[in-house]
């Protein structure tokens, strides 16, 4: 079947099966920046913003969000126009293999939009659904703190 979705502010017709998750649908239609990790909602690699809230796209049926605003990490910033959070991840060395990075950036973006000056505890809580097997989280937390220091709520 085909269905129109609004992804990264653009309406696009995607091909999917009615029982597909949002993760499957996005990846099958070229949005490979959304990573497939555990498929059980535990690793956070597949995070997307659904109406500005981070959700595990592997735990969402695509057909249940057909009229909702969806944003992948490329909707926040891309290679040529990276967002301050993405820059902060690179500068802090918070992206080793990079597999968890899109999910981490999404979670950080959602946090900083809601809470521009988070404490370390609040950052830890906001990233509690994202696993990283490379960095040990220190650099990631540092990147979010650095981004928060640069960003104003207006920019985000």
Partner 1 sequence: MMSHDLQWYYPEKISEALKLIQKEGVILHAGGTRILKTEPRNLKGFVDISHLKLNYIKKEVKNIIIGAGCTLSDVINYCKKTNSLDGLCMALAETASTPLRNRITIGGSLKDFPVWSSLYSPLIALDAKLELAGVKELCSLEDYVKKNIIKSKHIIKQVVIKDDKDIICRVMRFNLVRFEYPIFNVAVALKVKDKVVMDSRIVITGVKGRFHRFKQSEKVLNGSTLTDEVIAKSTEYFVPKFHHDYKYSPEYREHIAKVYFNDIVKELKEDMK
Q: Does 144 engage in binding with partner 1 (CB under 8 A)?
A: no
Inter-residue contact 61 to 20 (CB < 8 Å): yes
* Residue 25 binding partner 1, by CB under 8 A: no
Written as six digits, the tokens of 90 are: 């690179």
Of 136, 139, 110, 135, nearest to 125 by C-alpha is: 110
The answer to whether 54 contacts partner 1 (rule: CB under 8 A) is yes
Reading the block at residue 9, the tokens are 């502010």
For the segment 72-91, give every residue that binds partner 1 (CB under 8 A): none
Rounded to whole angstroms, the Cα distance separating 107 from 75 reads: 13
Give the nearer residue to partner 1 in terms of CB position, either 18 or 30.
18
Instruction: Tell me which of 4, 15, 32, 64 binds partner 1, using CB under 8 A.
Output: 64
Task: Tell me: does residue 44 bind partner 1 (CB under 8 A).
Answer: yes
What is the spatial distance between Cα 100 and Cα 85, in angstroms, rounded to a whole number?
14
Judged by the rule CB under 8 A, the positions of this chain that interact with partner 1 are: 17-21, 40-42, 44, 47, 50, 53-56, 58-61, 63-64, 107, 125-129
């Amino acid at each position: 079947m085909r269905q129109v979705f609004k992804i990264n502010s653009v309406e696009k017709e995607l091909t999917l099966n009615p029982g597909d998750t949002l993760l499957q649908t996005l990846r099958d239609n070229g949005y490979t920046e959304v990573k497939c990790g555990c498929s059980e909602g535990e690793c956070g690699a597949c995070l997307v913003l659904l109406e500005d809230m981070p959700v595990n796209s592997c735990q969402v049926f695509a057909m249940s969000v057909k009229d909702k605003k969806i944003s992948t990490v490329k909707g926040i910033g891309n290679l040529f126009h990276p967002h301050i959070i993405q820059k902060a991840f690179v500068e802090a060395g918070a992206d080793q293999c990079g597999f968890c990075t899109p999910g981490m950036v999404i979670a950080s973006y959602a946090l900083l939009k809601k809470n521009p000056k988070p404490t370390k505890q609040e950052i830890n809580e906001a990233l509690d659904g994202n696993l990283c097997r490379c960095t040990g989280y220190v650099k990631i937390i540092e990147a979010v703190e650095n981004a928060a220091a640069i960003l104003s709520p207006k920019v985000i």
